[in-house]
Amino acid sequence: MANTVNYAQQWNPELVEIMRQNTLCAPFITTNVRWLDAKTFHFTSMAVSGFKNHSRNGGWNRGEFKQTDHPYTVSHDRDIEFLVDKADVDESNATASIQNIAQVFTQNQSGPEKDALFFSKVAATAKTLEGYHTETDASTITKANVYSHLKKCMAAGKLRRYKGKGGLIMYVTSAIMDALEQSTEFTRTINVTQIADGGEGIETRITDIDGVPVMEVIDDEVFYDSFNFSPANGGFEPTASTAKKINVLIASPLTTKVVPKISSIYYFNPGAHTEGDGYLYQERELSDVFTFPNGKDGKIDSVFVDTDTTAVE
């Protein structure tokens, strides 16, 4: 696709503020990973047997322990480059600058894609687990039943185990947060809060239910259970005919991690590269999202998703 540059004799070099929500998966991003091979890191889990009755005639009951190695391979490998001709920078009064392109790309593409990958990977994991996924017609969630619906979601499986440790975060649509705000069953305050570090964006509404933070997903184009990351014009889009909008998603930062392997940004001045007479910006990100099993019985029991009943067209 050809570059489009706004040429003018006088042009405001400041960009219009980009009103997007900050990266919501920020609480799950970790760099504390030991890399053992090129693309794979390993997570070790251990399970032990319990007490047995003691005999006063002497002797001890021998227990058992099982240590399991879980390899995780990072596969979401993405890159982009932009070339800005020197004449374009000059004739657009620097609006078409590498700095502006990098800012717009981060806020309109890179950040939202991290959230889309996070939500879809967690949803996909939850859908493989019995008792950790449901489908609900979004139009049936109202102010009269929203509180009980969210309480039911939090009661799924073994999620209580993580709730007791303060280790759950719930994400909901704006429509559900609106209903919760109007609910007569729910009496806590709903605040507008900034939950991600750095960047510009719309702050999100946040509250809590039984100590579990409830966060609003404003930019709902990232809130689907599956995405196509190879559309014709790059970026991402909900998987046609199969993706469903997420109503509620629950995960624990204790066991779900956004794992960055490579995050490279290169900037070259004119003459420092052979791609053309201009400024060159290149960015690559290799990352992935994983949910680890618990340390008790080696099962995954810390994620949940409730999706709409209708797939995207």
Q: Other CB atoms closer than 10 Å to residue 98's CB: what's the count? A: 19
In angstroms, the CA 229 to CA 207 distance is 32
In angstroms, the CA 96 to CA 281 distance is 12
Q: Is residue 13 part of a domain?
A: no
- Determine the structural domain holding residue 289 and report its residue range: 26-311
For residues 281 and 102, the answer to whether their CB atoms sit within 8 Å is yes
**Torsion-angle region of residue 29: left (phi > 0), alpha (psi -120 to 50) or beta?**
beta
Q: Is residue 78 part of a domain?
A: yes
Rounded to the nearest 10°, the torsion over CA 166, 168, 173, 174 is: 10
Q: Residue 45: which pLDDT band, with cuts at 50, 70 and 90?
A: confident
Q: Other CB atoms closer than 10 Å to residue 68's CB: what's the count? A: 11
pTM of the model as a whole: 0.84
Encode pLDDT of 50-98 as tens digits.
899 999 888 899 999 888 877 888 999 999 999 888 887 765 666 677 7
Q: Is residue 202 part of a domain?
A: yes
Overall domain count for the chain: 1
Q: Is residue 1 part of a domain?
A: no
- pLDDT recorded at residue 193: 65
Encode pLDDT of 106-164 as tens digits.
888 988 999 999 999 999 999 999 999 999 999 999 999 999 999 999 999 999 989 87
In angstroms, the CA 92 to CA 301 distance is 54
Mean pLDDT of the chain: 85
For residues 206 and 278, the answer to whether their CB atoms sit within 8 Å is no
- pLDDT recorded at residue 222: 96
Q: Is residue 21 part of a domain?
A: no
Q: Is residue 3 part of a domain?
A: no
- DSSP-derived secondary structure letter, 222: G
In angstroms, the CA 122 to CA 27 distance is 14
